[in-house]
Amino acid sequence: MGLFGLFRRKPHERQGFELYTAAVQAARHPAFFDGIGVPDTLDGRFDVIALHVGLLIRRLHGDADPRGPALAQAVFDAMFADMDFNLREMGVGDMSIARRVKNMWEAFHGRALAYEAALAAGDRAGLAAALARNVWRGESPADAPGVRRLADLAFAADAALAAQSLETMLRGEAQFPAPEEEAA
């Protein structure tokens, strides 16, 4: 790659950031913390963002169009560029940024695999168990109302994302159901 290759944008970079932003905005809904009981901590917020981004990446990777997986990679890249930026903003030293981002990547990857397996199998109890283990750090049982509600919301978001066209997502648009829409 020549010098000019350094200045080229990656495929779907802008759309990846826009989709990542949509996932973050959905994950910041107060009902996750006030109504469902996700811990309103740095870890709790990371977990809700990881859930939303994982659902979005699952949708994009499952698309038969080769642009789907490329867009999924752009969303992943946007997430970890943002994590790096936020760690720096919080004053984390340059020497430990790479280690922390790697730990976050490993946490995200493990969660995404567990959630993917449960969603693919239609296993609500399995997803609730994974959410209880990760989001609540095992301090809430899988059959707790908040855990079950978050699992139901994840299934609803998975279905909502599956119904959205790749063309819409290539414009950087994705809609997640709001928590209060799933109260029933």
In this predicted structure, what is the pLDDT of residue 182?
47
Residues 6+ apart with CB under 8 A from 33: 39, 40, 44
In this predicted structure, what is the pLDDT of residue 72?
97
In this predicted structure, what is the pLDDT of residue 8?
57
pLDDT tens for each residue of the chain, 184 residues long: 455 555 556 778 999 999 999 999 999 999 999 999 999 998 999 999 999 999 999 999 999 999 999 999 999 999 999 988 877 787 777 777 778 888 899 999 999 999 999 999 999 999 999 999 999 998 999 999 999 999 999 999 999 999 999 999 999 999 999 997 544 4
In this predicted structure, what is the pLDDT of residue 110?
96
Both tokens of residue 60? 């994009």
Concatenated DSSP letters for 121-150? HT-HHHHHHHHHHHTSTTSS-TTSHHHHHH
Task: Report how far apart, in Å, the C-alpha atoms of 166 and of each of 3, 43, 116 are.
Answer: 33, 31, 19
In this predicted structure, what is the pLDDT of residue 4?
53
**Under a CB-based contact definition with an 8 Å cutoff, are residues 158 and 1 in contact?**
no
